[in-house]
Structure 1
Amino acid sequence: MSKTLKEIYEYDLIEDDGIDYTVDEWFNTIMAKTKDQLTVSDVSRMLRQKICSRVAIKRAIEFLNDDPFIGEMFEGQLMYNLYAGKEKYLKLFYQQMRPMLENAGLMAKSHHWGSEEERTEYMDIIAKFAQKIKEETDNEAC
């Protein structure tokens, strides 16, 4: 049986102080979920908030392997959020990201984009991500 994020990270839930905080409610909701129960929306927000980064990155890679253009508000949003994730944890998953990025780049060439600007921005983020991984790998080899 999978553990919840609360069990994995041993976080305490945020107590209700009577004031309505949407972020607190969301945090408590994701803490009760297992990795497999996290949605694209959850993972995107976790990456933006830099919360439970390892689990968020693993789950993002799974989603992006299935659909490299997935996003909650626009195509490719999860890829953008992953690229902006916490670097010290991203580095741990670079080897797993390489094939996902290669596939995303190939699929993006024949994808039907809403505009040329969307395609260009997506291809740029893929190229920047691949370059970041290459530079890190080159540094490790030295």
Structure 2
Amino acid sequence: MKTLKELYNLSYDESNFGSGLIKWYNSLIDKKIEELTVTDISKMIRQDILKNLALEKSIDLFILNPYDGEYQDGELLKLILSSVNINKLSINKLNMLNDKVTELKQSYLEFDWEDEDVKQIYGKNLDELKEKIKKAYDS
């Protein structure tokens, strides 16, 4: 598998300004797609770096670990809600996401949440995503 640098013909940021963001970017482009983490995906979306790839990968990561987040449990779901245009997903990806959300609606209360408020927000976010998926199917 090729790195992001090779796949997208990217180059290192060689500026002398050694910020954490530049260091992260330079390490990011040496990664393969399957090596991307939730932190990488979150930063890619916020920084508008390969955003379509990041959005697609965010759904894959959510399906694998729906409680993941950059700073707290469940943030990946919020990231998807705020960034992904559900209507533009392939029917296969939409079906996978719908199946996962349906499964989670039955099980998220059993997760060992760090905070009751986070659990409540997660449940509301699941409801919102389920509604967006329903609208995508209807359109």
- What is the Cα deviation at residue 88 of structure 1? 7.6
Aligned to 1:114: 114
Aligned to 2:8: 9
Distance in structure 1 (CA, Å) of the matches to 2:46 and 2:108: 24
CA deviation profile, 1:87-118 (whole Å, cap 9, x unmatched) = 28963443332122222322212223233321
TM-align CA RMSD: 2.3
Distance in structure 2 (CA, Å) of the matches to 1:50 and 1:83: 16
Aligned to 2:25: 27
Distance in structure 2 (CA, Å) of the matches to 1:90 and 1:45: 22
**Distance 1:48-1:88 versus aligned 2 partners, 3 A rule:** farther
TM-score, scaled to structure 1: 0.79
Gaps of 5+ in 2: none
Aligned to 1:73: 71
**Which moves more between the two structures, 107-116 or 84-93?**
84-93
**Which moves more between the two structures, 50-59 or 35-44?**
50-59
CA deviation profile, 1:17-76 (whole Å, cap 9, x unmatched) = 212232222122111100111122112222333322343234333332232111231010
Number of matched residues? Answer: 137
- What is the Cα deviation at residue 86 of structure 1? 4.4
Gaps of 5+ in 1: none
Give the % identical residues.
23
TM-score, scaled to structure 2: 0.81
Distance in structure 2 (CA, Å) of the matches to 1:117 and 1:75: 11
